[in-house]
Amino acid sequence: MPEIRVKIASPVGLHARPASQFVKAAAQHSGSVFIGRPGTEPVDARSMLSVLSLAIGHGEEVVLRTEGEGADAALRELSRLLVHDGDA
């Protein structure tokens, strides 16, 4: 179960449009995808309400974890979305 810590680059954090783009990308993977703050229980990254409930702001560090087939590729793709300014 690979995981990575990344800082959110989007100026608005992981809210509205960036969150929507991230959730849609996470939903395209056949395995499980989780996101959360370090040291807290992660949420299902394919649930818009769960992701928004984290209220993650710009510059905050999150832990992204993937499981199942293609977990490593999913982790790379999703982490890139989070670290690119303005695109989630």
**Catalytic site includes residue 15:** yes
* Active-site option among 15, 29, 58, 84: 15
For the chain, count helices (H), then strands (E). 3, 4
User: Can you tell me the distance from the alpha carbon of 22 to that of 18, in angstroms, rounded to the nearest whole number?
Assistant: 6
User: Can you tell me the distance from the alpha carbon of 53 to that of 70, in angstroms, rounded to the nearest whole number?
Assistant: 27
Residue spans of beta strands (DSSP E) within the chain? 3-7, 32-36, 43-44, 61-67
Enzyme catalytic residues? 15
